[in-house]
Structure 1
Amino acid sequence: MFGSRTDREMVTCIACGERLSRSDAREYDKHGDRWDRRDKTFEYVCKACFGEMSRHPRGDLEATLDAAGAGETDRETFLEQFRELSRSESE
């Protein structure tokens, strides 16, 4: 009748930045365990970006992004930390 809470909630696609209703988005869990919902917050991807996502294993990419401070530090610091972490993993 009035729609569910998720129909009214707006989210932002982490890939393209589009604002859309949560019901029109796909949940993305950077830790790879979207089924365990206890104490978890999700990020969202619009259907178009979700369709373009690679389904190939990414190894420890999310862990490296998290360790480098993705979304929590300025761009220059993040890139420097990501480069250093990536070098140490490939050695």
Structure 2
Amino acid sequence: MFGSRRDGETVTCIACGEERPRSDAREYDKHGDRWDRRDKTFEFLCKGCFTETCRQPRDGLEATLAAADAGETDRATFLRQFRELVRERSVERE
């Protein structure tokens, strides 16, 4: 239909860090353009994390993830940078 999912492929959930079969995960594109697939690799959310996060407000989420170097740096550095950016943006809104 929209592309084949490779049997036996595993992916790592960007939210919880667990490895899951590709068939038990959802694609996530931090740039918000999942339909343009040319030269692109996707990150993944397991179904549980996808369900938990997809109902949350997303205003500015992709920009914050990109600014925190999601997928470009190690997990600890990303989490620190993400936390700092979220704090800065919440102070700006007050």
Distance (Å, rounded) in 2 between the aligned partners of 1:87 and 1:56:
16
Kindly tell me: are residues 87 and 57 of structure 1, through their superposed partners in 2, closer, same or farther at Cα, counting changes over 3 Å?
Answer: closer
Aligned residue for 1:28?
Answer: 28
Contact (CA 8 Å) 2:30, 2:65: kept in 1 or not? no
Residue identity matched to 2:7: D
Structure 1 position 65 matched with structure 2 position 65: yes
Give the TM-score taking structure 1 as reference length. 0.69
Q: Separation in 1 of the partners of 2:16 and 2:33? A: 23
Match of 2:47 in 1: 47
Match status 1:16 vs 2:16: yes
Tell me how far apart the structure 2 counterparts of residues 20 and 68 of structure 1 sit (CA, whole Å): 24
TM-score (norm 2): 0.67
Structure 1 unmatched ranges of 5 or more: none
Q: 1:87–1:49: structure 2 CA closer, same or farther, 3 Å change rule?
A: closer
**Matches for 1:67-82 after TM superposition, within 5 Å:** 67-71=67-71, 72=73, 74=77, 76=80, 78=81, 79-80=83-84, 82=85
The unaligned stretches of length 5 or more in structure 2 are none
Once the two structures are TM-superposed, the CA of residue 61 in structure 1 deviates from its matched residue by: 2.1
Q: Secondary structure at the match of 2:17?
A: coil
One-letter amino acid matched to 2:6: T
Aligned partner of 1:37 in structure 2 is: 37
Alignment-mate amino acid for residue 8 of structure 2: R
